[in-house]
Amino acid sequence: MNDSGIYFLHLIMDDKDKTVKHFLDLIKKSRRGKFKIYIGMSAGVGKSYRMLQEAHSLQKNGIDVKIGFIETHNRKETHDLLQGLSIIPRRTLFYKGKQLEEMDVQAVINLRPEVVIVDELAHTNIEGSKNEKRWQDVSEILEAGINVISAVNIQHIESLNEEIKEITGIEVKERIPDSVLSLADEVVNIDLTADELITRLKEGKIYKEDKIETALKNFFKSEHILQLRELALKEVASQVERKVESEVTKPNSIKHERFLACISSNEKTAKTVIRKTSRLANYYHSKWYVLYVQTPDERADKIQLDKQRHLINNFKLATELGAEIIKVESASIAKAIMEQAGERNITTICVGKPHLNLFKVIVATNVFNELLKKLTTNNIDLVILS
């Protein structure tokens, strides 16, 4: 067989492999459980209550539904709804001399209910658990073909972390990657007005009496609630829009965006650029990359240890949010950006605002005008993130 024949055979084999892989992906997708998430603007809006109500409705319709994990917070109206539902016993662990409980993932998979209720999606599991986070437990359950109904508050979404901190003054430690939301087949907002939520708080339906006054002065201020409510409504609207685009709109009518987030070793700047680019990419349901250009001043033997640590943490954050990491060495950041934009068919480049180090470095180079010319020629947008 001559070279052209071998090449043709390779092409056939490649196409066959792609076809097989595509079919396997379809099979796995059909076997995977359906995933429904309730989103709320804060604690106390009624997510757990609504999940238990739905469990009762499903049970009345002959569906085998079980409680994998629920947190009632001793709220009577929520706790009363547990009556008549099948609860899977929790797993007991000892941590730092205390007896604690976690959801028993293996028991859920072994029992194989049609639907399982799993509360507190952003929860961090006790050290020694198989998975670090509960959303990873849920992913495992879904892969086993079991349908899951879960819940999370808007402040636990990774890409919104900085916005939440600006609104409330509190940095939320337990977070879920935005990719978890994108896996959901259905996202539902549990909405209350600010007045309704504050009334529930004052009536003792959210926290015990000794915590009410502190909550009213901090997280549960009316202006905070209104801003969180807006974020929750926007997030659910975006999820619905993405679902319509991917399932209803014809593929040819969708513009395929590709985002490139350019970061430096500045920890705070990089996190902002990563999170905001992630939200843009998720909105457009697009592939995105994070580019770090290592200049001679930041070689492995020269870069400060704290900057190196920040970079590693930011690469991890970007990966969790669904980005592909690109790390290149170059004395010219602008040239490196141009090269990567060309190679990856980038449509939008995202950088930090002008006073940040990365932008200064780009402006300081003689090729900045060349970069702008290249972007214009190739119809690439430049987004400067605040």
- List, for residues 146-192, the tens digit of each pLDDT value: 999 999 999 999 989 888 988 988 888 999 998 898 889 999 999 98
Q: How far is CA 139 from the centre of its chain?
A: 13
Predicted local distance difference test score (pLDDT) of residue 21: 60
Question: Is the pLDDT at 288 greater than 50, yes or no?
Answer: yes
Residue 204 — very low, low, confident or very high, per pLDDT cuts 50/70/90?
A: confident
Among 340, 350, 338, residue whose Cα is nearest residue 377: 338
Query: Side chain identity at 280, as an amino acid letter?
Result: L
Q: What is the dihedral of CA 147, 148, 154, 158, to 10 degrees?
A: -80
- Helix (H), strand (E) at residue 96: none
CB 116 within 8 A of CB 34: no
Predicted local distance difference test score (pLDDT) of residue 5: 54
Predicted local distance difference test score (pLDDT) of residue 253: 47
Nearest-angstrom CA–CA distance, 198 and 225: 9
Nearest-angstrom CA–CA distance, 82 and 85: 6
Q: Which of the residue ranges 118-127, 246-255, 303-312 would you say has the lowest mean pLDDT?
A: 246-255
Among 101, 81, 78, 53, residue whose Cα is nearest residue 206: 78
Nearest-angstrom CA–CA distance, 380 and 374: 8
In percent, how much of the chain has pLDDT > 70? 83
Average pLDDT over residues 346-367: 65
- The single-letter DSSP state of residue 124 is B
Predicted local distance difference test score (pLDDT) of residue 339: 87
Predicted local distance difference test score (pLDDT) of residue 357: 55
Question: Is the pLDDT at 137 greater than 70, yes or no?
Answer: yes
Structural domains of the chain in order of their starting residue, each with its CATH number: 31-247 (3.40.50.300), 255-385 (3.40.50.620)
Nearest-angstrom CA–CA distance, 42 and 229: 8
The secondary structure of the chain in percent helix, strand, coil, rounded to multiples of 5, reads 50, 20, 30
pLDDT digits (tens, 9 = 90+) for 218-236: 888 889 999 999 999 888 8
Q: Which residues of 323-335 are buried (b: 16+ CB within 10 A; e: fewer)?
A: beebeeeeebbbb
Average pLDDT, the chain: 84
pLDDT digits (tens, 9 = 90+) for 260-283: 999 888 767 889 899 999 988 887
Question: Is the pLDDT at 374 greater than 90, yes or no?
Answer: no
pLDDT digits (tens, 9 = 90+) for 60-114: 999 999 999 999 888 888 999 999 999 999 998 888 888 889 999 999 999 999 9
Predicted local distance difference test score (pLDDT) of residue 266: 76
User: What's the maximum distance between 2 C-alpha atoms anywhere in the chain?
Assistant: 84
CB 151 within 8 A of CB 145: no
Query: Phi first, then psi: what are they for 258, rounded to 5°?
Result: -140, 120
pTM as predicted:
0.73
Question: Is the pLDDT at 367 greater than 50, yes or no?
Answer: no
Beta strand ranges found along the chain (DSSP E): 35-40, 65-69, 86-87, 91-95, 98-102, 115-118, 147-153, 186-190, 258-263, 287-294, 324-329, 348-352, 381-385
Query: Side chain identity at 333, as an amino acid letter?
Result: I
Predicted local distance difference test score (pLDDT) of residue 305: 82
